[in-house]
Amino acid sequence: MNIHNNLDRLDCYDEATQNTQASVNKSATLAADYLNQSWELSPQNNNPVFSFRAHHLNYLLPLRYTSNTNPNPQSPTHVNTLSQPTQAQEVRFQLSFKTKLKNDILGSYVNLWFGFTQQSNWQLYNTSQSAPFRETNYQPELILSIPTSWSLGDTHIPLLNLALNHQSNGQSGRFSRSWNRVYIETSLSHHDFLADLRVWTRLPESANNDDNPDILQYMGHGELGLTWFQDGGEVSIHSRYSFSGHKGAVRANWSFPIHGHLKVYAEFFNGYGETLIDYNHYQSVASIGFLLSTWH
């Protein structure tokens, strides 16, 4: 009986994935291919659990310059009276991966992922202060990925993500910053364009444990991203805005392949929340370096 049930389920799975693929493949596009590979939406891209793949961007930015350093970071609950000599030039690198923890939860086609991102800001050129790491942000998350077959012509919405996200800078005392949130995310592909919308709500913390009670005034409740895939490179812009705090940020990225999966990568940021320690600090930041891409 179990064998017949499994065979029936495999037939249903094949039919569902074929239907989903048929709708996505009405027009073969780079944006749809990116989503298929990133979230394993087709049988060809379906890897076993605990197989690691890239999550967010993996990059090294040896040249990074800010218009406004933050030597004396503050928050409403963490008053800082010490000023740290901080250079406008520094190095940043980011490492990000994800892996599936569970396939086909409760007999559905929903997958459970674990993602982890580490972003480090290194004052490499600040030799008078022994080249310290200014801040490192850690971001683990659990993500339920739900495939969909929503489409209208050549426009497709192939998935919906529900996630539990923690972000902190691993510091203590007056420099500690952290928050927990849940978010819902969806992506829309149209030919070589990708739109990504993420909306979140912060999980409450007690007043004694809240490092940054006003963080939503600067980070808002969501982010909209637009990406154009072209000739192996990408141009993207991401923006967020707090309607309660009337503050926000814009980040623009550009990448271009130079050898295999290695790409030149440039980034410009303007606004609040460039890092956690800078969540309430306004600045413009220009960076250039290298991006490691894991898809063709």
Please count the structural domains in the chain. 1
* Cβ-count burial 81-109 (b if 16+ within 10 Å, e if not): eeebebbeebbbbbbbbbbbeeeeeeeeb
Are the C-beta atoms of 58 and 295 separated by less than 8 Å? no
Active site residues: 166, 168
pLDDT confidence of 255, banded at 50, 70, 90?
Answer: very high
Its pTM surpasses 0.85? yes
- Mean of all residue pLDDT scores within the chain: 89
CATH classification of the domain holding 247: 2.40.230.10
pLDDT at site 8: 46
Residue 27 pLDDT greater than 70, yes or no = no
Range of the structural domain that residue 141 is part of: 2-292
pLDDT at site 152: 87
- Cα–Cα distances (Å) from 222 to 94, 169, 252, in that order, read 22, 21, 17
pLDDT tens digits for 81-127?
Answer: 788 889 999 999 999 999 999 998 877 889 999 999 999 999 999 99
pLDDT tens digits for 176-224?
Answer: 999 999 999 999 999 999 999 999 999 999 988 999 999 999 999 999 9
